[in-house]
Each structure stands twice: as C-alpha cells, then as structure tokens.
Amino acid sequence: TDSLYQQITIPAGATSATLNFYLKIDTAETTTTTAFDTLKVQIRNSSNTVLATLATYSNLNKGTVYVLKSFDVTSFKGQTIRVYFLGTEDSSLQTSFLIDDTALNVQ
C-alpha cells in the first residue's frame, strides 16, 4: 500500500472548488474482469478520517495516455482537508498509477 496527500484549506467564501489531475494506468495484469490493484482518490479531514471517496480506479482502467480527472469539491469549503491518493497492489503483477499536474482550482 502506498499513499500521498496534500493538506489544504478551501476558503469559506469559495463559490467553486475543483480538483483536477491527470492519470495514466499501466499494468502487467492481463485480466479484464478482476480489479487486483486499486487507486482510491479520497477527501480526508486533518485527523485522517475519510470524508468522501471521489473515485476508485484499478488495473481494469489501464490506458496508454494520461486522462484528465475532475471532481467538484465545493461541498468542503470552509474546511481543512487532505486530498488523499491511496494505492493498493496485490503480490503478483505490477500496476502503476501515474498521477500528474494535480491542482485545486478555487474561485
């Protein structure tokens, strides 16, 4: 299991807050039916309690290019949150979850 997060505060007066990142999934898994390896995109509070799981990706979502992922997180305005990525892999074939250009756009 691997994880990374960034703790941020969304201003209470924000009219919108959008989390954007690019994701590419490379895997040696050959199955088309079983999610052996996963990446969860979560919002957690500063105590590390999960407030929301925005998405779960797996080896089944493999691709050859980076794809833009976008989530509305305006409901967390006025809070200090952690944008949390949690990767879990089985002990067999590798899956790489490549994350790039992560940004929180607040207006």
**Predicted structure pTM score:** 0.94
Between CA 21 and CA 99 the distance in angstroms is: 7
Specify the amino acid at residue 106: V
Strand partners, 58: 38
In the chain, what are the domains?
Answer: 2-106 (2.60.120.200)
Residues in Cβ contact with 103 at an 8 Å cutoff, skipping those fewer than 6 apart? 19, 20, 21
Per-residue pLDDT of the chain (107 residues; tens, 9 = 90+): 899 999 999 999 999 999 999 999 999 999 999 999 999 999 999 999 999 999 999 999 999 999 999 999 999 999 999 999 999 999 889 999 999 999 999 99
Residue type, 44: R
Contact status, residue 54 vs residue 10, Cβ threshold 8 Å: no
Amino acid sitting at position 102: T
